[in-house]
Structure 1
């Protein structure tokens, strides 16, 4: 019996030594000294509740880690990976978008001038001057027929726009009205921009005016019943315009005027550009 106790003591000592080396707590169940009974050594997990360690530790299922119910966290890219072609395109050097060149500060058109052949042909004569810029040389009579001109004159800039587009074979021209008694700053700016665009594109502007205005040389021009004239150039970025006036013969037929004065001169009427 003493030999059996010694062996049990040695076994217990060995288990205790192993437990000490692995950092676990040991609990003994049963009575080591009771005859006819064995001694079972139970190993309890470190960190388990005290009640589990003191009781039937051998009958408790070992503690396991609950299975992970969600996929392991990974670094998800915020954007879809670019295709190989896209990467190549991104890597390729890109040039700055091309910009339309600024119009010249000054531009004059070549034209063929004719004085109007009667008192009511200012519309046909001014329209014909604009047509010669595009290499069209109709007679004033043929232009008058297209315009519907009578001894009372030509109705409006709507007619000059229509005939210019018809004879040239284009849809470039548009009619702009200045309906008030005086041009607004916005209408003055619009006329300046329209003149620059038209002349730069190679088209003259036909303006329907009424009343009186002074040119830059001090010349006084008065048409109380209305008149048509042609803008054939500009300078100072369109702040001043060159006018070909079919009512005036000779060299005095062309003169310079500020765009502001021309816009006010065209008030109540309009222009084709």
Structure 2
């Protein structure tokens, strides 16, 4: 082979060259752990190890071989051969979406009225025989912190010597003087039906529990819960200022002040019958 020829040429050259080659071979042998023995001017044994060393150190033909150590370069791992670790995903810069609270609409619960209630009012008896309407209306207004005179109320109701015409006049006067639109008129054309009695009870509870007194236009006679007899054949106005037993019984402020009686209790049924052919403002 070509390298063997080069080795032979180096060995058989001048003694100086042979000495240099021997030194180089000896250095390589010390490095590789193989000891190469040279005889007196003879060619070193051509074994596989010697040939391998000569091939590694061989260059151009006749070149000097310096006694140096050959250090193999460390292998550089191939990028394609390396195992790439999984790269975690970058955290999102957007804030986490908060769960939307679904507002459940709450239905307002209507508060039940109390089982009984009596309004604060200022009693004043009627100042003449035809002012029962103005006096009863004035009592109702005092429950709303209004203190008009009976004459002022009479002017608002259109009261004459013949009295106050109907519940509609009282309703108009109450709303005007109390600065409200709370009051409406209810009429009982004949004997009250059970439905009209129930309506009266509900109207009294609603009005009084809301802070409004009721003005009733009655005619005839009726008995209160204590057995007292009350008779107004020509018609009369009085004021309902309270109730108890959930409206089954009502308290009446009577402006007539007959026999020194200004207030008494009466069943709602008896009051409804007392108002037959008349009406009330509530």
Give the structure-1-normalised TM-score: 0.65
Of 227, 242, 249, the match for 1:240: 249
Does 2:165 align with 1:155?
Answer: yes
Q: How does 1:1-273 map to 2 (within 5 A)?
A: 88=100, 92=102, 94=104, 97-180=107-190, 182-248=191-257, 252-273=261-282
Partners in 1 of 2:128 and 2:108 — Cα distance? 50
Determine which structure has the larger strand proportion and give its number.
1
Note the residue ranges of structure 1 that are not aligned, 5 or more in a row: 1-83
SS in structure 2 at match of 1:233:
strand
- Give 1:162 deviation, angstroms: 0.1
SS in structure 1 at match of 2:261:
helix
Partners in 2 of 1:217 and 1:204 — Cα distance? 22
Partners in 2 of 1:109 and 1:166 — Cα distance? 21
- Give 1:167 deviation, angstroms: 0.5
Residue matched to 1:17: none
Tell me: CA distance 1:225–1:249, structure 2 relative to 1, closer, same or farther (3 Å).
Answer: closer
Partners in 2 of 1:233 and 1:239 — Cα distance? 11
Partners in 2 of 1:220 and 1:109 — Cα distance? 24
Q: CA RMSD in A?
A: 1.9
Residue matched to 2:15: none
- Give 1:99 deviation, angstroms: 1.0
Q: Which is higher, the Rg of structure 1 or of structure 2?
A: 2
Note the residue ranges of structure 2 that are not aligned, 5 or more in a row: 1-96
Partners in 1 of 2:221 and 2:281 — Cα distance? 20
Partners in 2 of 1:194 and 1:97 — Cα distance? 24
Partners in 1 of 2:229 and 2:108 — Cα distance? 45
Tell me: CA distance 1:162–1:268, structure 2 relative to 1, closer, same or farther (3 Å).
Answer: same
Aligned residues of 1:233 and 1:242 also touching (Cα < 8 A): yes
Any runs of at least 4 consecutive aligned residues in structure 1 with deviations exceeding 4 A, and if so which? none
Tell me how many residue pairs correspond in the alignment: 186
- Give 1:142 deviation, angstroms: 1.1
Aligned residues of 1:115 and 1:249 also touching (Cα < 8 A): no
